[in-house]
Amino acid sequence: MEQTEHIEIGKIVSAVGLRGEVKIYPYSDRQKHFAQGAKFLVGGRPVCVETARFVKKLPILKFVGTESRDEADALRGQTLSVSALTLEPLPDGEWYVRDLIGCDVQDETGRRLGSIADVIQNGAQDIYEIAMPDGRKFLLPAAAAYVIHVDIPAKRVTVHAPDSLLELAL
């Protein structure tokens, strides 16, 4: 039997209330990923969402079979993952993090700067962590001022990286 790839789409940050609900830090801004009936793997175990609500865009979920605060609290720190087969295509200009990791990064002159080692997601915008060939790393905001073109099939990202950013490489 072929193994299906699973993609992390959130992390359980805390228990909520007394009836088994958990607060999720989402890696996706698509609320339907966290809807009632959604199926995840949590700690390698399949779960199904019994109820879902959102507070300040954060999903509050109750899984079937999780009935108490203690049971919910035991899930803290675990990630939620879904089958890659269930992910929908994204609109133009959006990419899944898994597709960006490993992409070669070059500047507008074609000079290779490195490859995307990680995508740091914060509230304002994503930040690409770029591993340079010499082992140093630098951070580049994933904003239109810096990211010129993303070509996922070619695994290449063209950026405008000011020398001042490259000088700060760790």
Structure tokens at 34: 């966290």
pLDDT, mean of residues 55-65: 92
Query: Is there a contact between 52 and 38 (Cβ–Cβ < 8 Å)?
Result: yes
Query: What pTM was estimated for this model as a whole?
Result: 0.64
Whether pLDDT at 57 is above 60: yes
d(CA 17, CA 148): 45
Domains 6-86 and 97-167 equal at CATH topology level:
no
- Domain boundary assignment for the chain: 6-86, 97-167
Q: What is the pLDDT of residue 1?
A: 41
Query: Is there a contact between 88 and 97 (Cβ–Cβ < 8 Å)?
Result: no
Residue 102: band (very low, low, confident or very high) from pLDDT cuts 50, 70, 90: very high
Residue 169: band (very low, low, confident or very high) from pLDDT cuts 50, 70, 90: low
Query: Is there a contact between 138 and 85 (Cβ–Cβ < 8 Å)?
Result: no
d(CA 34, CA 10): 9
Q: What is the pLDDT of residue 87?
A: 75
Closest residue by Cα to residue 105 from 115, 97, 91:
115
What's the CATH superfamily of 6-86? RimM (2.40.30.60)
Query: Is there a contact between 59 and 31 (Cβ–Cβ < 8 Å)?
Result: yes
- Say yes or no: domain 97-167 is CATH 3.40.470.10: no
Q: What is the pLDDT of residue 99?
A: 85
Higher pLDDT, 83 or 134: 134
Which sign, positive or negative, has the C-alpha torsion 53, 59, 64, 69?
Answer: negative
